[in-house]
Amino acid sequence: MKVKKDIYMQGLLKFLIKSRLKQKYSYSVLSVSGFTMIELLVGTIIAFLITVPMLGFVVDILNRDVKEQAKATTEREIQAAAEYLSQDLSQAIYIYDPEDEDFETFRAQLPYEGEDDKTLSLVFWKRHLITNAICPESFGDPITGCSDDEKDDIYVYSLVAYYLIDDDNAIWCQPAGSNCKRIARVQIRDGIKDPDNFTQYIAENDKKIGRSKGYNPDFDINKPLEWTNSGEEFPSHDVLVNYIEDFSELQVTNNRLAKIEIVGNAKRRIPGQFKVVECTDIDKDRTSPYCPTVAIQVRAGGSVGT
């Protein structure tokens, strides 16, 4: 009986071992079998459906960020330009009104007259301060008689004109070749005259205390509409701000109070993001956040001879 029992146990053990080996082999085959073509195709489609919208979302977020940065930059720049204009205009002693009689005659004497790409927007007279200009009389020579720190500050009359200029220079204008606009400032000022002979300048050709080219020394400040230029080449302009859509003098009251509007154009800073880069539709684009507007009203604070 014992022998039969041993034979029975050996047979049972062999059966269990064979069953275990078959099971391991089956698992091994299944683990390395991989994906079928259908499974791969379905997985690819699912990945595509998930990835593409996510990429579109990321691109949209980046585009929105670029637009917001362009808008914020434009708002800051036109606000800074408005503050500069306010400070400059507050020193005025006379603001020209385009409705004034003889204004067109006066306008013909100004820089850039007749140039279609430069539009006169604002013009006024102010008293310009030249710091550390000349030595006091007690020092003898007004230029070399003392150090710069000992020199007096002197006021001179200055004609200031602001223009809206179309400029397609690709260095700053985008899209390249389109008519971008900027605000520019031209100043034509008198020089310091000899106190002993008011018809003569102390140093007419000196860059600091001499008169600007184009300034007529025979001009009477009490007759602003009768100003004529000297026939010389005018000084070059300085750019105040770029990417402007419009800059205009809305109203002048009694030649002492001016209302001005500046419209920026953030669309120009991000070419390819807008089908139309101009702010031409007043009902739509002028209220667009990408065409910010600043309006200021400034009273002339200067006076003749003070």
pLDDT in tens, 174-221: 666 667 899 999 999 999 988 778 788 888 888 888 899 999 988 899
pLDDT at 25: 47
Domain membership of residue 48 (yes or no) is: no
Domain membership of residue 254 (yes or no) is: yes
pLDDT at 37: 80
Domain membership of residue 9 (yes or no) is: no
Domain membership of residue 240 (yes or no) is: yes
Number of domains comprising the chain: 1
Domain extent at residue 132: 63-299
245, burial (CB in 10 Å: exposed 0-12, middle 13-18, buried 19+): buried
Would the pTM count as exceeding 0.75?
yes
Contacts (Cβ under 8 Å, ≥6 apart) of 79: 294
Looking at residues 18-23, what average pLDDT do you find? Answer: 58
User: How many residues are present in the chain?
Assistant: 306
Could you report the per-residue pLDDT of 128-173, keeping only the tens digit for each? 999 988 888 777 788 878 888 888 889 999 999 999 999 877 777 7
3-class DSSP string for 215-237: CCCCCCCCCHHHCCCCCCCCCCC
Q: Which of 262, 259, 271 is nearest to 244 (CA)?
A: 262
Domain membership of residue 25 (yes or no) is: no
What is the overall mean pLDDT for the chain?
83
For residue 12, give Cα distances in angstroms to 16, 19, 164: 6, 11, 103
